[in-house]
Structure formats: C-alpha cells, structure tokens
Amino acid sequence: MPAAAFHGDERNWLKEVEAIRMKLGEPDDSGRRRPVPIPDANYRMPIDVAVIAIGNSPNPLIPNTTPDIEVGKWGNIQTDLETGKTSIPGVFAGGDVATGAATVILAMVAGKVAARSIHEYVMDTIP
C-alpha cells in the first residue's frame, strides 16, 4: 500500500495513513502490468502504528537522536539476542536495525521475541 501521507492529532500522535488507491496499468513491452495511481481516489485508514520498511541498514540518525542507545560500528542497535533489550531500560529492538541485513523470517522472530520481552517488562513495571 503506497502511503501518500501520515496524519496525527493535535499532539502529533499518529492517527491515520492516507493511502493511494492503485489499479493495474496497461502491459509494458515485457507484458508486465504495473500499478498506477487512480486519480482523486486516495483514502484514509485509522492506525496507531506505522512500520516503515525501507532499505536494509539502520537509520544513521539513531545515535544522534537517541544518544544513550548502544550501537555497533555499523550503526546497528546492540541488543540482547534472547530478549531484544537495548542499553536503555524499556527500549527493545529487533530485525535489521539490530542484526544487519537478514531475512524477513529472522525479523519476524526478533519481533516475537521482543513482544514477549516487552510484555514481561510492562507486567513487571505496572504496580
């Protein structure tokens, strides 16, 4: 789903994604029909989380915007591989940002590991 824009509330909390409705265009010389935008057909969907999956290297801004987080020499966030915990309490990471370029399967596993650890962390910190 190509995103045209993200929309937030008055506090800039993510609330909606505006998506571009597409259709298949005419076949090109190879016979492939590529998606093309439908004019004036954008639509909005309510969301509260957006996972932006572009590239396979860590965002170079991470060390600058989160100075307390430990990163390796290639900019990857250092984590405990069994929990996804980072050097900042309550912050977890997994996937390419932690391991470097890998498969989506490994990223999914890291997400499940982090989710379990996040649940345990939250349950232990709520009185």
Q: Give the domain extent around 68.
A: 62-125
Average pLDDT over residues 92-117: 88
Do residues 113 and 79 share a domain? Answer: yes
Do residues 38 and 66 share a domain? Answer: no
Average pLDDT over residues 106-114: 90
Give the least confident one: 6-10, 103-107, 115-119: 103-107
What is the number of structural domains in the chain? 2
- Strands in 1-127 per DSSP E: 3-8, 14-19, 22-27, 33-37, 43-46
List alpha helices for 1-127, DSSP H: 62-65, 96-99, 104-125
Reported as a single tens digit per residue, the pLDDT across 32-91 is 999 999 999 999 999 988 877 666 677 788 888 888 999 998 889 999 989 999 999 999
Do residues 72 and 39 share a domain? Answer: no
In a domain, 56, yes or no: no
- Quote the percentage of the chain above a pLDDT of 90: 60
Do residues 80 and 110 share a domain? Answer: yes
- Closest Cα to residue 18, out of 1, 38, 36, 37? 1
Do residues 119 and 66 share a domain? Answer: yes
Contact status, residue 76 vs residue 99, Cβ threshold 8 Å: yes
Do residues 106 and 68 share a domain? Answer: yes
Angstrom CA distances, 56 to 38, 72, 116, 119, stand at 30, 15, 24, 27
Average pLDDT of the chain is 89
Do residues 68 and 42 share a domain? Answer: no
Residue 65 DSSP label: H
